[in-house]
Amino acid sequence: MNIDRKDEAGGPIELSVQGELTIFGAADAYGVLTRVLSEKRDLRVNLSRVSELDSSGVQLLLAAKNAAQRHGQRFELVAHSPAVLDVMDLLQLGPVFGDPVVVPA
């Protein structure tokens, strides 16, 4: 798994996750998310290149969302891959993340 960072002047930090967001990479991803959230800036996580998502990856995203909310930061998931959409749908997580892509119409 790789995580690329893009900073927009005056905008949120965008992290783009590539590969498997599973138990095998969760510790590394946690470290990256923790460092970014400590900067006290809004965060956008691009999931378009995630090939697999398991419960560890979901827990990581939930923990990041909760940490951002505690610090008054905005946290947003964007560009969901088919693997992410499958898991979000299965676990009915659209309303949890407030994500219009996976919230039923």
The verdict on residue 28 lying in a domain is yes
Residue 104 has pLDDT above 80, yes or no: no
pLDDT tens, residue by residue, 39-98: 888 999 999 999 999 999 999 999 999 999 998 999 999 999 999 999 998 988 888 887
The verdict on residue 13 lying in a domain is yes
> Which two structure tokens, joined as six digits, stand for 23?
């138990």
The verdict on residue 102 lying in a domain is no
Domain that holds residue 87: 2-97
CA-based diameter of the chain, in Å? 36
The verdict on residue 105 lying in a domain is no
Q: What is the pLDDT of residue 101?
A: 62
Q: Please, which residues have CB within 8 angstroms of residue 55's CB and are 6 or more apart in sequence?
A: 23
Q: What is the pLDDT of residue 3?
A: 94
Count of structural domains, the chain = 1
The verdict on residue 44 lying in a domain is yes
CATH number of the domain at 27, please.
3.30.750.24
pTM value is 0.87
Q: What is the pLDDT of residue 105?
A: 42
